């Protein structure tokens, strides 16, 4: 941290404390486990002096930009990411970076998209006589959370 002291007509002085960005989820208990197909929104409030010129988002280390389903917004106090029609491929670690002359700040969260069980294909056909016992195994191949 640093201090910037400016003087005006005595006896007045202005003191400005400079510090890098710090992030706080808002609200702190935001869910990061949406269901596939839902709209997901995650908000961070931040403090910094001076204000960052820009904020950069990544998912699993790859740069993100606003586009078809992803909207990144920022103002002088908060940043948010909105993903519409969230899918399992959106799961991952999301990180926000900001730089100022006082230093850099970063924060992240892990998105874990829930989706219903997927059943495997029946691999063989069976011919039965009327009244014969029959069992069909419907074990899910994948699901989140695991079935």
Q: pTM for the full model?
A: 0.79
Position 2 confidence tier, pLDDT thresholds 50, 70, 90: low
Six-digit token string for 24: 């706080």
- What sign does the dihedral 84-88-89-91 (CA atoms) show? positive
How many C-beta atoms surround the C-beta of residue 75 within 10 A? 8
Tell whether the model's pLDDT for residue 114 goes beyond 90. Answer: yes
Q: Are 82 and 74 in contact (CB under 8 A)?
A: no
Residue 123 zone, left/alpha/beta (φ > 0; ψ -120 to 50; rest): alpha
pLDDT score recorded for residue 14: 78
Q: Average pLDDT for residues 69-73, to the nearest whole number?
A: 96
């Amino acid at each position: 941290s640093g201090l910037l002291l400016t003087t005006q007509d005595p006896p007045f002085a202005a003191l400005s404390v400079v510090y890098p960005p710090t992030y706080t989820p808002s609200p702190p208990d935001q869910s990061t486990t949406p269901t596939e197909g839902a709209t997901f929104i995650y908000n961070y409030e931040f403090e910094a002096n001076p204000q960052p010129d820009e904020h950069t988002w990544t998912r699993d280390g790859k740069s993100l930009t606003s586009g078809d389903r992803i909207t990144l917004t920022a103002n002088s106090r908060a940043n948010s990411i909105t993903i519409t029609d969230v899918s399992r491929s959106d799961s991952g670690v999301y990180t926000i970076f900001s730089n100022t002359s006082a230093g850099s700040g970063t924060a992240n969260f892990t998105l874990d998209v829930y989706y219903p069980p997927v059943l495997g294909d029946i691999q063989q056909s069976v011919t039965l006589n009327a009244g014969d016992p029959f069992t069909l195994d419907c074990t899910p191949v994948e699901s989140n959370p695991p079935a």
